[in-house]
Amino acid sequence: MSRFNDMVAGDLGRLIEDGSDLGADATFVAAESSTELAIRLVFGDPGDGLQAISEGTTDNRTAPATTRASVIQDAIGRPPQPGDLVRISSGAMAGEWAVSAVQLDQGDGANLSLRCDRMFSAGRVSKA
């Protein structure tokens, strides 16, 4: 690897594995199987998109996140891909996040585009 790639990999390690407050513990679930593995990732700025539906209001949160590609590759035999899930049990980013896009970088990073849909408030349903 080049000196730049080594620097990027080192920065990723400091953010994810070295106890940074920016990191979050999560469970990664492969789409094609029930294989689960513990990962640590760092979230970027999330976006909220409230949407009115007949059942009430949903919160369609999206967020970028970065994790180590090699950890996932070694455990399930392939890099992360759309359709995989990331589960976070506690904290501000708690929920089940679907991977909607993946971009791998040269420093062993996997940049994930995540989406989490959840019911925000229940609506009233009237029967005719």
- The pTM for the full model equals 0.77
Kindly report the CATH number assigned to the domain that includes residue 37.
Answer: 2.40.10
* 72 in a structural domain: yes
Is the predicted pLDDT of residue 123 greater than 60, yes or no? no
* 127 in a structural domain: no
Domain that holds residue 97: 3-122
Mind listing the pLDDT tens digit for each residue in 93-119?
A: 889 999 999 999 877 889 999 998 876
Closest by alpha carbon to 46, among 118, 116, 125?
116
Mind listing the pLDDT tens digit for each residue in 67-91?
A: 989 899 999 999 999 999 999 998 8
Rounded mean pLDDT of the chain? 82
* 66 in a structural domain: yes
Mean per-residue pLDDT, 8-36? 76
When mean pLDDT is compared across 6-10, 30-34, 89-93, 106-110, the lowest value belongs to 6-10
> Residue 86 forms beta bridges with which residues?
28, 97
* 74 in a structural domain: yes
Count structural domains, the chain: 1
Nearest 5°: CA angle at 89, between 88 and 93?
Answer: 50
